[in-house]
Amino acid sequence: MGDTRDVRDRSFSILLLATVSAFSLALIIAPGCSGHVDKQCSVSSDCGAGASCIEGACARLPGCTRSGDCDAGSSCILSACTPVGNPCGSNHDCASGASCSSHNVCAPPSCTSAIDCGLEQVCVQGQCAPVGTPLPPVPDGGFPPPPPDAGPTCVNLQCAQVACPNGGSTTLMGSVFDPSGQVPLYNALVYVPNGQVKPFSQGVSCDRCGSTTSGEPLVIALTDATGAFTLQNVPAGTSFPLVMQIGKWRRQVIIPAVQACTTTTLSDVNQQRLPRNKSEGDIPQMAIATGSADPFECLLLKMGLDTAEFTRPDAGGRIHMYVTPQGSPPPLRLDGGSAPAADLWDAGSTLAQYDVVLLPCEGSEYRKPANAIQNLVGYTAAGGRLFVTHYSYVWTAFNAPFNSVANWVPDAPQTHNPPDPFSGLIDTSFPKGIAFQDWLTNVGAFSGGNLKINEPRDDVGPVNLDAGTRWIYGPNPKNTTTPITTQHLTWNTPIFPPPQSDGDAGVECGRVVFSDFHVTAAGLADSKGLFPSSCKAGALTPQEKALIFMLFDVSSCVQDDHKPPVVCPGLGQSCSPTQACCSGLTCLGQTLAPCVAGEPCSCTVPIN
């Protein structure tokens, strides 16, 4: 701490000298001046009206209306930018308007946020204090909003954000991993909440980006293609919660106090992974109808989810197990039996209970009733997320509107399967495709310019790019009719939504992933058909890693794949009429009225 104080003192001295030099020069060249620097002084009372004694010279400080008008290290006191935060032994050591606090630093009479307090200071209950001073507890019901004319006032952890020398920041770096801690995740939301993180709504919902981000985020970021994040201006000197979220996957951990104006990098994977069970955090309510050819449920185990979360629909787990009736070897069932798959899709009200529905390959082309297909269409249009593999094209290839997203070429007898293994190419014509290829490279699943896929199939040709997005593709020498096979595609739902009543573009709420490859039979330890004992343990294969990426992608908030992911602005961050704040915050202008185009606006806790 001694070294930190020395750096701070030197920075402050340099700041003062630069300030005095600038002011002195201004006095010399100003019209009507006699050409000499104001007189020497020992205390501010030695100077004339409107001047302060700084570093032994009288200087007039620049005017201001708020501390945000001043440089870091100064506070707006009596309409003048006044240096604060420097060490002192008495009031005589401080500029006019500031006083020597009980912490032996020059401070303004009061503060509303750390910006009033100078470098490496915080604002606690209206008074400036050193970093690490305990913050007051949050009262029941949260902090009351300030009066409309009170100006910006810090609340809760906002009061532990500090101004750092030379434009520095208190920074937290880390990564977000899947529940097992093996695979870093792309496009995960990471933030420090300044209020209460609220429970998710139950059942299917139209979750646009930002709509499920609660807790009045103080600082917020997204993970990149390596799974890494950087949060700047995090609270200093006090522990704080950190939220990691992808859609309705969410976990909150406590970060111990970090030192002000330094960079802290998290190293414990257990602090950086998503939850393995509902006691650790939020897991989407999922349903899986197990099929005989694609043990996708085994991949969920390898991904780190606890076996206790796999239950019948009436037993309270986060993954409800249904089973399809066909196939050899038989689909995996829970010990004691799983619910019939028809119970899942025969009623739209049952589908509506789930955030994500997984319909892996059943081993053959078992056509589905038209009403069940329309139930799935309605489910996804309302915000449901659907993941289907191979022969589950029966849900997407034959009926409107899903059959419009691509040129479906179902090959039930598998007469033109691609070479096995298949060298899958990544479509990098859109931002998330570039990130996907970088991510695969980072996790060791992409080598030689391709993704190795075992047991590939060929049931999709070109994608209708107005409706869907191609992710993985490649030439198939065994198919001369549609020689380029699409192995992975996604689309948002509803497809081509009608415009809103105000003329704005229609809203897409849900998302579908189709994969023409799956976990493969190698994911099974035996043919007994029991879950979880028939699942084979082991390292994740490259295509399993690709499937994990897509599972979290289909779970995430719905946005345009052809634009880079963006994060909603948090508390105090800039916003506009076209860039909405995170849920629970309102975009307001300088007069605390709703933001209008062209004015500077920021995200604020709404005043009721």
Domain-by-domain residue ranges, the chain?
A: 2-132, 169-271, 284-497+506-555, 572-608
Determine how β-strand 189-193 pairs with β-strand 240-246: antiparallel
The amino acid occupying position 12 is F
State the Cα–Cα distance between residues 376 and 40, nearest whole angstrom.
82
Write the pLDDT tens digit of every residue in 1-41: 333 333 333 333 333 333 333 333 333 333 333 333 456 77
Phi-psi region of 292 (alpha: psi -120 to 50; beta: other; left: phi over 0): alpha
Tokens representing 487 are 């192995």
Looking at residue 444, what DSSP letter applies?
T
3-state helix, strand, coil in the chain (%, to 5): 20, 25, 55
State the Cα–Cα distance between residues 533 and 432, nearest whole angstrom.
36
* CATH superfamily name and code, 169-271: Immunoglobulins (2.60.40.10)
Decide: 86 and 72 in contact? Cβ < 8 Å.
Answer: no
State the Cα–Cα distance between residues 504 and 506, nearest whole angstrom.
6
Decide: 466 and 495 in contact? Cβ < 8 Å.
Answer: no
The residues near 246 (Cβ < 8 Å, ≥ 6 apart) are 176, 185, 187, 188, 189, 274, 552, 555, 556
Q: Look at residue 29 in the predicted model and tell me its pLDDT.
A: 33
State the Cα–Cα distance between residues 47 and 34, nearest whole angstrom.
16
Looking at residue 378, what DSSP letter applies?
H
Report the CATH fold assignment for 284-497+506-555. Rossmann fold (3.40.50)
Decide: 514 and 403 in contact? Cβ < 8 Å.
Answer: no
Q: Look at residue 194 in the predicted model and tell me its pLDDT.
A: 93
The residues near 133 (Cβ < 8 Å, ≥ 6 apart) are 122, 124, 237
Q: Look at residue 549 in the predicted model and tell me its pLDDT.
A: 98
Find out whether the peptide bond into 401 is cis, omega within 30 degrees of 0: yes
- Residues in the chain predicted with pLDDT less than 70, given as ranges, are 1-39, 44, 49-52, 54-55, 60-61, 138-152, 521, 607-608
Q: Look at residue 435 in the predicted model and tell me its pLDDT.
A: 97
